[in-house]
Amino acid sequence: MTYLPHTDADRRAMLDAIGAARLEGLFDGVPAEARFPALDLPAPLSEMEIEREMRALAGRNRDTAGCASFLGAGAYRHFVPSTVDYVLRRGEFYTSYTPYQPEISQGMLQAMFEYQSMICRLTGMDVSNASHYDGATALAEAVLLALNAAAGKRTEVILSPAVHPQYRAVVRTYLSGTDASVPGVDAAAPAPGAIRSLLGGRTAALVIQNPSFLGQFEDVRGLADDVHRAGALLIVVADPVSLGLFQPPGAYGADVVVADGQPLGIPPSFGGPHLGILAARKALVRRVPGRLVGETVDAAGERGYVLTLATREQHIRRAKATSNICTNAALSALAATVYLATMGKAGLRHVAELCYHKSHYAAREIARRAGLEINPGAPERPFFREFAVALDKPVAAVNEILLDRFGIVGGHDLGADYPHLARHMLVSVTEMNTKDEIDRLVEGLRQAAA
């Protein structure tokens, strides 16, 4: 933002406009002893000295640029092509925001139209909105969609325990104070097979994550048929990178697909920003929250883009809104659009293949050389990018060894989310991890287990 200092004449004109004699008079309501408290601040520094101080403080951090990282659990380090940052830094896109005057936001509307088109192809669904804050809020909105579609006749939502624990927590927060209920599911039970028996006349939706939070693929054969026979909707939390290689949820009968788009050109950065993806079948299009951009022609026959559906309360009467989403950082959706356009179908498939093969190499070597059990309880189940490692000591202690001795950021402590998985580490391997880094991780885990 450009800094425009006020001149003495500017200040005088503003004070005259509000009828104040002097600037200090604006603070007469503040007790005198509180106006200028003694802060005991150090002496001022020059810009050069401040920059040196800030760089020294930043240098004390450990980051993925200087460390090998195997931490995933919802935020992943993937390669971001330079084209993504180049486009995002263009002035007309850098402040991407809600198109309140869509007729003069043709560039942004076209970008969102392309985003929706790519997401539909990726997920195998008919329509996509643009967009949500992150995967967790996208799932919560999908659950509300299912409950609204049930029109009060069904108030139960079944959440697989293999769905990201933080996603489940957000859903429960959204549903607090409503008539909806989330039946308890044994976190130690396999999903989704063990939860099919919970389907009944009150079920509005069944939610699974595929691949699961543990990185394992679920057996979805006949699942959609079972859900639909019960009169419910099937909501799938997907991994967008895995969809470059594996069957999309639309192919096995999903009604709504949600995902976190952070792996699509958005670097992990202290938890944000992320991108919430939501796509659905056409029959549900008028219940999809947020905005849908469409393509049309103007009076002169020229191609143009419009807000085809905008079912949020700032565009229509509040009583008819499908969601209370009031804003959205479209810059993240734009990043995903540029990433997908740059990578293309073959590029995304290659990234997924690298994640698959590197993670399987890591799992195999950890089992062989470190003697640790991989994916206990389901060792034969296929997995993608992430897998669980059973340890004989606390995960925090192992991660400390990995960081101090090997310069490695270790995996996620599963015991924090699943008590029965205490001393289990969730390891994530992406295309960014080299063979040398993986081998160092194996050696680090071997020494930590000794």
Burial class (CB in 10 A: 0-12, 13-18, 19+), 447: middle
Tell me the C-alpha distance between 205 and 146, whole Å.
6
- On whether the 82-339 domain is CATH 3.40.640.10, my answer is yes
Contact 295, 113 (CB under 8 A): yes
Q: Is residue 387 classed as helix, strand or coil in its secondary structure?
A: strand
Q: What is the pLDDT of residue 445?
A: 97
Token couple for 26: 């604006």
pLDDT, tens only, 269-319? 877 789 999 999 999 999 998 888 999 998 899 999 988 887 665 566 666
What SS3 string covers 78-143?
CCCCHHHHHHHCCHHHHCCCCCCCHHHCHHHHHHHHHHHHHHHHHHCCCEECCCECCHHHHHHHHH
Which amino acid is residue 145, in one-letter code?
L
What region does 113 belong to: left with phi over 0, alpha with psi -120 to 50, or beta? alpha
Q: Are 362 and 427 in contact (CB under 8 A)?
A: yes
What confidence tens digit (pLDDT) does each residue in 333-357 have? 999 999 999 999 999 999 999 999 9
User: Residue 269 has what pLDDT?
Assistant: 83
What is residue 157's predicted lDDT score, i.e. its pLDDT? Answer: 97
- Parallel, antiparallel, or unpaired for β 276-280 and 127-128? antiparallel
CATH class of 68-80+344-449: alpha beta
pLDDT at 313 (0 to 100): 55
> What pTM was estimated for this model as a whole?
0.88
Q: What is the predicted pLDDT for the residue at 33?
A: 85
The pLDDT mean for the chain works out to 91
**pLDDT tens figures, 219-260:** 999 999 999 999 999 999 999 999 999 999 999 999 999 999
Treating both helix axes as pointing N-terminal to C-terminal, what angle do 330-369 and 435-449 enclose, rounded to 10 degrees? 50
Closest CA to 445 of 400, 414, 415: 400
Question: Mind listing the pLDDT tens digit for each residue in 77-129?
Answer: 999 999 999 999 888 787 656 566 666 778 888 999 999 999 999 999 999 99
* pLDDT the model gives residue 237: 98
Residue 367, burial from CB neighbour count under 10 angstroms (0-12, 13-18, 19+): middle
Check: CB of residue 359 under 8 Å from CB of residue 289: no
- Kindly state the tokens that stand for 365: 């070597």
Half-sphere exposure of 36 (CA within 13 A, CB side): 2
Share of the chain above pLDDT 70, in %: 93
What per-residue confidence (pLDDT) applies to 103?
Answer: 67
Q: Alpha-carbon distance 352 to 384, whole Å?
A: 9
CA distances from 54 to 36, 50, 58, 60, 61 (A): 27, 6, 6, 10, 12
Domain spans in the chain, listed from the N-terminal domain onward? 68-80+344-449, 82-339
Give the mean model confidence (pLDDT) for residues 191-212. Answer: 89
Q: What is the pLDDT of residues 159-171, one digit of tens each?
A: 999 999 999 999 9
pLDDT band at 153 (very low <50, low <70, confident <90, very high): very high
The Cα–Cα gap between 382 and 201 comes to 32
More confident residue, 314 or 218: 218
